[in-house]
Amino acid sequence: MIFEYKVKNLKGETIEGTVEALNQEGAIEVLTNRKMIIISLVESGALPFWRRPVEIPFFNKVQPRDMVFLSRQLSVMISAGLPLVKALDVLSKQTSKPYLKTVINSIAGDVRGGTRFSTALAKYPNVFDDFYINMVRAGETAGKLDEVLNYLADEQEKSFDLMSKIKGAMIYPAFVIVAVVSVMILMLVFVIPQLTSILKEAGVELPLPTRILIGLSEFFQAYFILIIIVVLFSAIALRFFFKSSTGKMIWDQTLIRLPVFGPLFQKVYLIRFTRSLSTLIVGGIPISSALKIVAEIVGNIVYKETILNAVIEVEEGRSISGSFLNASHIPKMLSHLMAIGEQTGSLDEVLGKIADFYSREVENILSKLVTLLEPIIIIFLGIIVGGMVAAIILPMYKLASAF
């Protein structure tokens, strides 16, 4: 159970925060052991609704950019000798995001009350994943929290830059496709019907492209509402299906097997795997625990299962690289380089270099992809627009030649 408290410490300062205990007596004992004078202690669920934390996933999502800022600023302030609680208070005042401010204030209250920083972070799994929490815990244990936070900020920044480049490359074709589809629907619903009435009155024989266009227009007019309902229902049904274990597996397998984008997605997952594992090893996390954490954050079930198989191999005393050799979606080069890293005791360095190599590969693929997509999109637009124009002009030409 989570209890919200308001207490005074030995200096007479008023402190607010949360404490986890089996019951209220347990919470009182925890606070008393911390030499706190309790002013109020209320179970979190028993608070009035206006004082309860807002739990709306859409609004409570913290962006990667904010996480980079949080880690970097905390690292700088702690390196400068500022106490962790004071650094969190300063950080809370600097952030403009209401939910993140609430989270930081709550963590500051917990730390002020004697809770370990990593334990306080673990209360917000939607903000701090296992990877982040374990790295912070390792930093606390080694007395290098500032270095770990700075390292986390660097790694998060690299991941953020990579995902930004991928999204940026996809925005242009996505925008063009949406615009073309929207224009086509508007033409079919509003423009073509007026043209149809004119051509029917003239009694001109219509060419095949025009008949197809008129047929599509009449279909859209007759079943427009039904089409919208079917599309929405299909989108919702597919969303639920792909969230299931079977659907997720099918989707993840399809992603890495796509003709052009498959190799790109494979490299993105490999970057996530190598960079995260390298970071966790540097943080002193045991290899089997590090692999389990990476399996949860890699983002693809196919790779997750491969990594979990590697965990079994490691726990049985075998090497990590050996379990990757037979996986079709893992390049042989990666397995061989990991084997060298294991033999030389520099696995973290090898994984870091592999991550950098694949990052450059992804950048090269993206630049080529953008260059290739531009002419493809132009040809696609030319075919669509040319086909519609031809379907409209051909009967007009026949109509004009009939007079």
pLDDT of residue 49: 47
Phi, psi (degrees; rounded to nearest 5) at 80? -75, 0
Residue 3, pLDDT > 80, answer no
Cβ-proximal residues to 398 (8 Å cutoff; 6+ apart), any chain: 204, 205, 207
pLDDT of residue 233: 94
Q: How does residue 47 score in pLDDT terms, banded at 50, 70 and 90? A: very low
Q: Which residue has the higher pLDDT, 234 or 15?
A: 234
Residues 46 and 175 both lie in one domain = no
The strand pairing partners of 41, in sequence order, are: 5
Residue 354, pLDDT > 70, answer yes
The strand pairing partners of 3, in sequence order, are: 19, 43
pLDDT of residue 401: 66
Which of 19-33, 150-164, 284-298: highest mean pLDDT? 284-298
Q: Give exposure, 244-271, as e/b (b: 16+ Cβ within 10 Å).
A: eeeeeeebbeebbeeeeeeebbbbbbbb
Residues 213 and 348 both lie in one domain = yes
Residue 50, pLDDT > 50, answer no
pLDDT of residue 236: 93
Residues 241 and 386 both lie in one domain = yes
Mean pLDDT of 316-344: 85
Q: What predicted TM-score, i.e. pTM, was given to this entire model?
A: 0.69
**Domain annotation covers residue 135:** no
Residue after which a domain boundary falls, among 33, 52, 71: 52
Q: How does residue 281 score in pLDDT terms, banded at 50, 70 and 90? A: confident
Residue 403, pLDDT > 60, answer no
Q: Which residue has the higher pLDDT, 46 or 306?
A: 306
Residues 238 and 368 both lie in one domain = yes
Overall domain count for the chain: 2
Residue 312, pLDDT > 60, answer yes
Q: How does residue 32 score in pLDDT terms, banded at 50, 70 and 90? A: confident
Phi, psi (degrees; rounded to nearest 5) at 356? -65, -40
Which of 130-144, 158-172, 222-236, 366-380: highest mean pLDDT? 222-236
Cα dist. 121→128, 329, 338 in Å? 6, 34, 32
Which of 23-32, 196-205, 297-306, 372-381: highest mean pLDDT? 297-306
Q: Which residue has the higher pLDDT, 38 or 400?
A: 38
Tens of pLDDT, residue by residue over 180-189, are: 888 888 888 7
Cα dist. 145→83, 85, 148, 329 in Å? 12, 13, 5, 36
Q: Which residue has the higher pLDDT, 11 or 243?
A: 243
pLDDT of residue 399: 67
Say if residue 229 is exposed, middle or buried (CB neighbours under 10 Å; 0-12, 13-18, 19+). exposed
Question: Domain of 20?
Answer: 1-52
CA distance 162 to 173: 18
CA distance 299 to 304: 8
**Of 43-47, 73-77, 212-216, 324-328, minimum mean pLDDT range:** 43-47
CA distance 202 to 205: 9
Residue 383, pLDDT > 70, answer yes
Residue 52, pLDDT > 60, answer no
Residue 227, pLDDT > 80, answer yes
DSSP 190: I
Cβ-proximal residues to 244 (8 Å cutoff; 6+ apart), any chain: none
Q: Which residue has the higher pLDDT, 35 or 271?
A: 271
Residue after which a domain boundary falls, among 37, 52, 67: 52
**Domain annotation covers residue 215:** yes
**Of 8-12, 238-242, 266-270, 301-305, minimum mean pLDDT range:** 8-12
Mean pLDDT of 361-389: 81
User: Helix (H, G, I), strand (E, B), or coil: what is residue 4?
Assistant: strand
**Domain annotation covers residue 308:** yes
Residue 216, pLDDT > 50, answer yes
CATH number at residue 183: 1.20.81.30
Q: How does residue 230 score in pLDDT terms, banded at 50, 70 and 90? A: very high
How many other C-beta atoms lie within 10 A of the C-beta of residue 95?
Answer: 18
Mean pLDDT of 131-143: 81
Q: Which residue has the higher pLDDT, 234 or 24?
A: 234
**Domain annotation covers residue 176:** yes
Residue 229, pLDDT > 90, answer yes
Residue after which a domain boundary falls, among 36, 52, 68: 52
Q: What is the DSSP string of 283-336?
A: TT--HHHHHHHHHHHS--HHHHHHHHHHHHHHHTT--HHHHHTT-TTS-HHHHH
**Of 2-16, 83-97, 149-163, minimum mean pLDDT range:** 2-16
Mean pLDDT of 181-209: 77
Residues 360 and 216 both lie in one domain = yes
**Domain annotation covers residue 219:** yes
Mean pLDDT of 343-359: 89
Residues 44 and 180 both lie in one domain = no
What mean pLDDT, rounded, does the chain reach? 81
Please state at what angle helix 347-401 crosses helix 192-202, rounded to 10 degrees: 30
